[in-house]
Amino acid sequence: MKNSQAAVKTAKQKQTAIVVCPGRASYQRTDLGYLQRFHEHQHGLVHEFDKNRLQHHLKAISALDQAERFQRPLHNSGENGAALIYACSYADFLAIQQDQFDIVAVLGNSMGWYTALAVAGALSPVAGLSLVTTMGRLMDQQGSGQQLIYSWVDDQWHYQPEVRAKVMATMSEIMQAHEQAELYISIELGGYLILAGNELGIRLLAQQLPPQPGGYPQVIAGHAAFHTPLMQTISTIAYQRLQALPLKPPAIPLIDGRGHQWLPWATRVDELMQYTLQTQVTTPYDFSRSLEVAVKEYAPDRIILLGPGNTLGGPVAQVLIQHQWYGWQNKQQFTQHQAEQRSLVSMGLADQRLTVTGMQPHVIEHL
């Protein structure tokens, strides 16, 4: 009886958390050696990933991570970059102290959706790696168009609807004036609009949008027109090649790029497959909406951003400020709250990851 009471008490002390998986280009120069530094104990996992990659005549994850220097063409290519990010993110998830945190929901941004499938248990770790690698290779081989990023928040991270309206009007004017130009919303990323289109459309948009501090508008190097109709060929090929993908209902609720929840007891695998390989490939990914649903449905004690990098820190905070989560109304209040009580944890930052893993990073001499 005493043991049962102790178990109940321990369970009640767990903090609830939602887990967020990052998207493309999260692994950058400063992340080189990430798996060595933070996941030296995950030899078995990395070995399985390497084995799978080598069987398909691809560079091993460990070799990419342990390279002497970061090479953008190598580390950010579709077939390498996506797999490297996935491996780091999945290892980060395993490092979260499960006896301290109850993971109540999982979501991801763009490519992070594929990672989220594995984190939530809808795919095995190796099947998730195969998925991201296949999609990454298809992007290298068949990807077309470009992406551009533009901010629509002020310096205190308040949304500015008039800026967004100006962007939408400019896109419409360009397409009316130039019949060959194609432009779309690609990703709703907090206070950032990720816009996509063919090369003509993006070139004209970059020329016509008013310049902003921070170098915006900024064309994102190496990115195709993800989440737009320009990806239809990739979607068709992926759906044909990945029919045997061993998807199953998630063990943890999944929230997709529309804000739709895929629940363990109410998920049809065929519909999940269709969304993963068709819908989200060719239609906008509303990361802001998925995060809004997560915090409003599950009211987590913590929001844990998996590494590598910290590309989602700002956009997540901007969404939370918009909905006055934790009472935040501006960037200053967010920063003050984080200094006192870290509710938003980025595992890509060594000091913050300690609060959810309890493990010091391994020192690597050659980096």
Helix (H) / strand (E) containing 255: strand 254-255
Tokens for 260?
A: 């739709």
Tell me how crowded residue 331 is: count the other CB atoms within 10 A of its CB: 18
pLDDT reported for residue 341: 87
- Residue-wise pLDDT tens digits, 83-120: 999 999 999 999 999 999 999 999 999 999 999 999 99
Pairwise CA distance, residues 183 & 204, whole Å:
10
The model's confidence at residue 268, banded by pLDDT at 50, 70 and 90, is very high
Q: For the chain, list the domains and their CATH numbers.
A: 21-143+236-265+298-357 (3.40.366.10), 146-223 (3.30.70)
> Taking the model in full, what pTM does it have?
0.93
pLDDT band at 12 (very low <50, low <70, confident <90, very high): low
When pLDDT is averaged across residues 316-336 and rounded to a whole number, the result is 95
pLDDT at 4: 45
Q: Residue 222's pLDDT band (boundaries 50, 70, 90)?
A: confident
Distance CA 307, CA 347 (A): 5
- Kindly indicate the confidence band of residue 360, based on its pLDDT and cuts at 50, 70 and 90: low
pLDDT of residue 76: 87
Is a pLDDT exceeding 60 seen at residue 8?
no
Q: What are the backbone angles phi and psi of residue 159, rounded to the nearest 5°?
A: -65, 145
Residue 359, pLDDT score? 67
Is-contact 212 161, C-beta < 8 A? no
Q: Which amino acid, 347? A: M
**Sequence-separated (6 or more) residues with CB below 8 Å from residue 69:** 32
Take residue 148 and report the two structure tokens written for it: 């551009």
